[in-house]
Amino acid sequence: MNDVAQQKAQMRKDAAKNRAALCTDAAVRAANSYLERALAPHKGKTVAGYMPMRSELSPLPALTEFAAHSVVAMPVVEGKGMPLVFRIWTPGGALEEGAYGAMIPADTQPATPAVLIVPMLAYDGRGFRLGYGGGYYDRTIAALAPVTIGLAFAGQEVPEVPTNAYDMRLDMIVTEQGVTHNA
């Protein structure tokens, strides 16, 4: 394992513990309020979110509102080393268990998002994120070039996320404290 991979592995352990402590109803409500504002300029576009797992900050309140006037999709892992694909999601629609235990829309049409909301274990001020290590989001961002919105608790920010050439920078970060745009 190279040095960056080792740094990321340790950071993942620490970040997962930290995120669980930050997950409160008030923080989720505040972050979703900011997420709604960040999504407002994208009405009419297809937006992909995610079904929260573990202590991930849930985008579902904002996406439920957004689904009233736009297409919302959720990611599906089709195989190791592949970019994500997306299925249309409707609030209250049928879900099934996908890869890694993630819930995904059942029997819905595919969609290609123009905007991608991304979960994180940690992030830094440059707009880089730390995920679970599969590279699915990085490959997807590289392939689709969507507008990217990282969603996290403000306490998940770290001084610097170790990066490699394949790590993709996010366009903005939304937390319960506001929206940060990355140049």
pLDDT tens digits in sequence order for the chain, 183 residues long: 678 888 888 888 888 888 888 989 999 999 999 999 999 999 999 999 999 998 899 999 999 999 999 999 999 999 999 999 999 999 999 999 999 899 999 988 999 999 999 999 999 999 999 998 899 999 999 999 999 999 999 999 999 999 999 999 999 999 999 999 986
| Domain extent for 151 | 3-181
Residue 53 among known ligand-binding residues: no
- 115-141, pLDDT tens digit by residue? 999 999 999 999 999 998 899 999 999
- 23-46, pLDDT tens digit by residue? 899 999 999 999 999 999 999 999
Residue 8 among known ligand-binding residues: yes
Q: Assign residue 61 the CATH number of its domain.
A: 3.40.50.10420
Residue 134 among known ligand-binding residues: yes
Distance CA 45, CA 29 (A): 23
Beta bridge partners of 105: 95
Residue 50 among known ligand-binding residues: no
Residue 79 among known ligand-binding residues: no
Residue 109 among known ligand-binding residues: no
pLDDT of residue 14: 82
Q: Please check whether residue 131 is in contact with residue 120, taking contact to mean a CB–CB distance below 8 angstroms.
A: yes
DSSP letter, residue 106: S
pTM: 0.93
Domain count, the chain: 1
Residue 54 among known ligand-binding residues: no
* Of 34, 40, 115, 130, the residue nearest 75 (C-alpha): 115
pLDDT of residue 5: 83
pLDDT of residue 4: 84
HSE toward the beta carbon, residue 136, CA cutoff 13 A: 19
Residue 56 among known ligand-binding residues: yes
Residue 137 among known ligand-binding residues: yes
